[in-house]
Structure 1
Amino acid sequence: MTDVLIRPATADDATALGELGRQTFVDTFVAGFAIPYPADDLAAFLDASFSPEATAKKLKEPGAAWWVAEREGRLLAFANAGPNTLPHPDGRASHAELRRLYVSQDAQGLGLGTKLLALSLDWMEAHTDGPLWIGVWSGNHKAQKLYAAHGFEKAGEYQYPVGRWLDDEFILRRG
């Protein structure tokens, strides 16, 4: 893995980040977990979340941080953290949230998720005045186990919209 570079994302990464986010979401939740999203809802979500324009806008968000893992100029994984947006009564925007941690299917098992998580957690600890937060799909037991190993505990539940479809999500908190 010495040929993999982990670095802060730049505006030039917007298109590749969007493509990686879109493909990883489909690989994970549609193909992997077989969530039966209606086609219109999935398409609307993917466009709103991962179009080059949406990604470029998110990269400019004040108080947010992005990292990418790349090999030979191709993005393999990314992480995004920023001000907390999770709907928990104890949550504040001044707290930090891990918003996305995506590793492409062909980069699974390289340790990139763990490295990006450690980098994100260090950044979050330095940019919060309270606990750290993560939202995770209720059926993603592997991710929940990983986050629990880093001190996160379930603090609540909410519904995450994918178009009009609502995913049942857990809110995790550390600290």
Structure 2
Amino acid sequence: MTDQPDLTLRVADVADASSLAALSMEVWVGTYLREGVSGFFADYALAELTAAQFETHLANPQEHFIVSQNRVGIDGYIRISRGSPGPVPGCSDVEITTLYVQPRHHGRGIGTALLRAALAHCAEERVARVWLASNAENTPAKAFYLSQGFERIGETQFVIDDQSYLNDVFARRCLS
């Protein structure tokens, strides 16, 4: 599963909110702000990736978070959201909203383990199909999802205020 013998996957709880916020900030800024940090993106990240926002998400019964925890703390998580209709035909209303692993832990199987746990959760919940969106320029993420049995089924836009960014939409069956 992973090359980390001390890795544990578990369901997140409200006590994880600040860790999830910090991890999200690290991954989001490192992935998407490659040319510098503008006030526009800083304002978005500081408003959306907060402990308070994660407390709200964690309290929502339509949301399910699984975290990867090593002996020190959380190094990755996956968020599954029910009631999130897809933007293109072929999507269900269950989305893998986020899959983040700290960059220094990439290549250790954490993302694969989290994705497998999420798909198992969806199967247990009788979810036939799950979808996700990935930034169209995030080549490593897109290659990862394709290698995990997802298929590209369309495009959508990720919108921040009046600006939009192309995303590819992927889907995969959870039940055989």
Same fold, TM-score > 0.5, yes or no: yes
d(CA) in 2 for partners of 1:19 and 1:120?
A: 21
1:136-155 Cα deviation digits (max 9, x unpaired) = 11112222222122221111
d(CA) in 1 for partners of 2:121 and 2:12?
A: 14
d(CA) in 2 for partners of 1:90 and 1:56?
A: 31
Displacement after TM superposition at 1:78 (Å) = 0.8
Task: Assess, with a 3 A threshold, how the Cα gap between structure 1 residues 123 and 129 changes in structure 2: closer, same or farther.
Answer: closer
Does residue 70 of structure 1 match 2:69?
Answer: yes
1:114 aligns to what SS in structure 2?
Answer: helix
**2:131: which partner in 1?**
133
Displacement after TM superposition at 1:134 (Å) = 1.0
- Name which of structure 1's ranges 157-166 and 133-142 shifts more when overlaid on structure 2: 157-166
Does residue 24 of structure 1 match 2:22?
Answer: no
Tell me the percent identity: 22
Task: Assess, with a 3 A threshold, how the Cα gap between structure 1 residues 48 and 90 changes in structure 2: closer, same or farther.
Answer: farther
d(CA) in 1 for partners of 2:31 and 2:98?
A: 13
**1:120: which partner in 2?**
118
**2:51: which partner in 1?**
52
1:84-112 Cα deviation digits (max 9, x unpaired) = 3432244443xx21111101122112211
Q: Contact 1:159 / 1:167 at 8 angstroms: preserved in 2?
A: yes
**1:172: which partner in 2?**
170
Of residues 2, 7, 11 in structure 2, which corresponds to 1:4? 7
1:72 aligns to what SS in structure 2?
Answer: coil
2:97 aligns to what SS in structure 1?
Answer: strand
**1:82: which partner in 2?**
81
- Name which of structure 1's ranges 123-132 and 142-151 shifts more when overlaid on structure 2: 123-132
Task: Assess, with a 3 A threshold, how the Cα gap between structure 1 residues 110 and 129 changes in structure 2: closer, same or farther.
Answer: closer
Opposite residue 60 of structure 1, the aligned amino acid is: A
Task: Assess, with a 3 A threshold, how the Cα gap between structure 1 residues 141 and 154 changes in structure 2: closer, same or farther.
Answer: same
Task: Assess, with a 3 A threshold, how the Cα gap between structure 1 residues 41 and 130 changes in structure 2: closer, same or farther.
Answer: farther
1:136 aligns to what SS in structure 2?
Answer: strand
CA RMSD, Structure 1 to Structure 2 (Å) = 2.0
Unaligned runs of 5+ in 1: none
1:149-174 Cα deviation digits (max 9, x unpaired) = 22211111111023443110011112
